[in-house]
Amino acid sequence: MSPLLKIARRKRSKVWHFRRLVLESLGKDLWKELYFIQDVAKSNHKNYQLWHHRRWVAEKLGVAVAPEELRFTELVLASDAKNYHAWSHRQWVLKALGGWEAELSFCSMLLQEDIYNNSAWNQRFFVIKNSPLLEGLDSMRESEVEYCINAIKLAPLNESSWTYLRGLFGNDTKSLGDSQSIGQVCFEELARDRCCIPALSFLLDLVCYGFQPTVDDCKILDSSIEILSSLQLALYLCERLEVVDAIRACYWAWRRSLLPAIIK
């Protein structure tokens, strides 16, 4: 960053700080300040000083402002679905001021509009994990796995839904490896497209976690396969990924080199 740009940013930050001092000293109506910020945000919605100022105002107004703040972030996200500032502010509002009631539905709506919206997937995970109205990740896992599997069937090449599915299990790799339904999803997608990289990658992880497919499942990968040990299958998947995911061939070769120590 150039010295001139640094100076300019410091000056802008001081102006916003001075505005807060004036607002507080004069006891101005902070609800009106929200509308001022909204007008400024129309052309400056990535200005981090603006978002800092917005949070300060929201903190002063308290829980009553939560619906307004959620609506504000929705307006910004409608024009910029990946706006980091808006998502960060929204998460802060939920944690500090509340408004969890409709958040899962909001995420579902965004994903219905765009199943590839990684930010919406991230927000959904945030809600499942943090909402005081839900019973936590473990209790929601079964229904979320079903939701995720349906999303994968709609867009098998969407890395976001596969990543979300993996995240639902956290460090509980045993439960993930024991899940026959998830293993079958991988094979169903590979039956449609033997080069489906996310399915091959996920299946590799499942095998490393103890998943044991049937001979018929393995024949989906290659009709000439009779029976493979877990190690042989994992090696086969790595070799396959080195070909179909050539841009990451070195990574898959590295993964392959580790398999003998992982799978006994």
104 within 8 A of 113, measured Cβ to Cβ? no
DSSP state of 170: T
The helix/strand/coil state of 256 is: helix
Burial class from Cβ neighbours inside 10 Å (0-12, 13-18, 19+) for residue 30 reads middle
Residue from 6, 32, 42, 46 carrying the catalytic annotation: 46
**C-alpha distance across the termini of the chain, in Å:** 51
DSSP code string of 93-105 = HHHHH--GGGHHH
Residues 6+ apart with CB under 8 A from 124: 104, 107, 108, 111, 164
How far is Cα 129 from Cα 122, in angstroms, rounded to an integer? 11
Scanning the chain, the segments in alpha helix (DSSP H) are: 3-26, 30-44, 48-61, 66-79, 84-97, 103-113, 118-130, 137-154, 159-167, 173-178, 180-192, 197-208, 215-221, 230-244, 249-262
42 catalytic residue (yes or no): no
Which residues are tagged catalytic? 46
